[in-house]
Amino acid sequence: MADTKREIERKFEFTKAKAEQRGVPDLTGTAGIAAVLDRGTADLDAVYYDTPDQRLAADGLTLRRRTGGEDAGWHLKLPVAPGVRDEVRAPLGDTVPGPLAALVRSRVRDAPLQPQVRLVSSRKISHLVDADGTLLAELSTDAVTAEREDTAASWTEVEVELADGVDPALLDAVEKKFRKAGLKVSDAPSKLARALAETGTEPPARPAPGPADDTAGAAVLAYVREQVEALIAQDPAVRRNQPDSVHQMRVAARRLRSAFTTYRKVLDRETTDPLAEDLRWLGAELGVDRDQEVLFDRIQTALGELPRTLLSGPAKGRLRRWNTARRSGSRRRALAVLDHPRHLALLNTLDRLLADPPLLPAASEPAAKVLPKAVLRDHGRLAARVDHALSLEAGEERDHALHDARKAAKRTRYAAEAATPALGSPARRLAKRAKAVQTLLGDHQDSVVARTALRDLAAQAHGAGEPSFTWGVLYAREEALAERRERELPEVWEEAVAAASGW
């Protein structure tokens, strides 16, 4: 079974030979460090695994099998932010553990994971403690030797890793002290990155963010690449059940679908239409668990806000049982889709699209000429749906029309966001206003869905001989909320219209 540890650390290297000979300066008295306790030396032997074309290293991930020290085993390090990584650990064995292999599958696909570099380190360990003896950080000085095929390299590096809950400002104070002693923050984000550089086997450079030129094709492809990277990056987050990960993965899928439809004069739909269908399938499969989670949270929150006088019967228990029954198996379904051949084939096809994009003639034209037409076309579609919805009487038909308008608002927002790097403030303003329309209509649709669920809960309660009064109260509140959102729509929509005028 794998377990996870959040690492907040900073790596340093000596800038001069004399500084290395003097060693690490005494940190006693720095930022509350009362003592530096010697914890001995450990001999570490780590073999790093990757695909032959270094897919993990290219994305800043490291997978190793390490012996020696207190945490011998398999370690997968996933970047969270600069200087922050999650280390997922699994017991020592001869092959890559299944849970870790699953976490890198969106990047590895069917490529083999093979030994790439061996790092042998002699680690001198010290504990930095405060006046009460509480651990603040671990200080490691590593004499490292990297071996890859017939090439070897050696260096010394220093690492300071914070203990849980310690203010990261400690690292800033240590860095200041180190700079004066001839140490600087390492240019390499990890030992593996430095080992690859030192042995002449650096992974391929990642494409620079943003358009490579001012053409429509470059702008659209930069956006598509960003969403593909998000789709891949959220895969391990979903597997680890990280907060909001399913939602973010679905958003990336929706944005890709939207881009393929909106910018159909830039990218050939003969190629992108099948991809859009696969993305729709992925979003729907992932949505089973996410939609129920959102619905449960909404009703639970509303239930918690009711005064005691409006609570009757075992409402909270009824809600929990109802939610458990509806979510049974949905988590397994979400995980299964990530290993489904269709999902892995989708990722491979997206890679091929970025490597050899199906560009149409409009792709070579200036982005400032092509993108506004596409965005305004989506805005016009949204306008037609909003006008239609507002022309209807309140009721089920209007609810459906408002839901259709919500989907159009989402597409307009995504279209404007994709165009923002090329078009600047006008696109940014429209994206903001379209998002406001989307949010309002989303709340309305959530109310529609919640009312259906509340009727179900009331029926279940009645069938079990429980009072259904509380569910009726919540239903009435949701109905009133939906009416407020409908009254607010014209004003919010006027602002979206104004944002699109003058383009």
Q: Which domains does the chain have, with CATH numbers?
A: 3-198 (2.40.320.10), 216-500 (1.40.20.10)
Give, in degrees to the nearest 5, the angle at Cα 247 between 220 and 227.
Answer: 20
Q: Which residues of 408-444 are buried (b: 16+ CB within 10 A; e: fewer)?
A: bbbbbbbbbbbbbbbbeebbbbbbebbbbbbbbbbbb
Contact 115, 121 (CB under 8 A): no
Contact 33, 186 (CB under 8 A): no
Q: Kindly report, residue by residue over 280-299, the tens digit of the pLDDT.
A: 999 999 988 788 889 999 99
Bridge partners (DSSP) of residue 62 are: 77
Q: Kindly report, residue by residue over 236-290, the tens digit of the pLDDT.
A: 999 998 989 999 999 999 999 999 999 999 999 999 999 999 999 999 999 887 8
**What is the percent of the chain with per-residue pLDDT over 70, rounded to a whole number?**
99
Give, in degrees to the nearest 5, the angle at Cα 18 between 14 and 20.
Answer: 40
Q: Greater confidence, 327 or 485?
A: 485
Please state, in angstroms and as integers, the Cα–Cα distance from residue 345 to each residue in 52, 282, 352, 353, 375, following that order: 20, 12, 11, 12, 30
pLDDT level of residue 63 (50, 70, 90 thresholds): very high
Q: Kindly report, residue by residue over 299-329, the tens digit of the pLDDT.
A: 999 999 999 999 999 999 999 999 988 887 7
The pLDDT, as a whole number, for residue 66 is 97
0.75 exceeded by the pTM?
yes
CB proximity list for 207: less than 8 A, separation 6 or greater = 225
Distance of CA 61 to the CA centre of its chain: 15
Q: Kindly report, residue by residue over 114-152, the tens digit of the pLDDT.
A: 999 999 999 999 999 999 999 999 999 999 999 998 899
Sign of CA dihedral 437, 442, 448, 450: negative
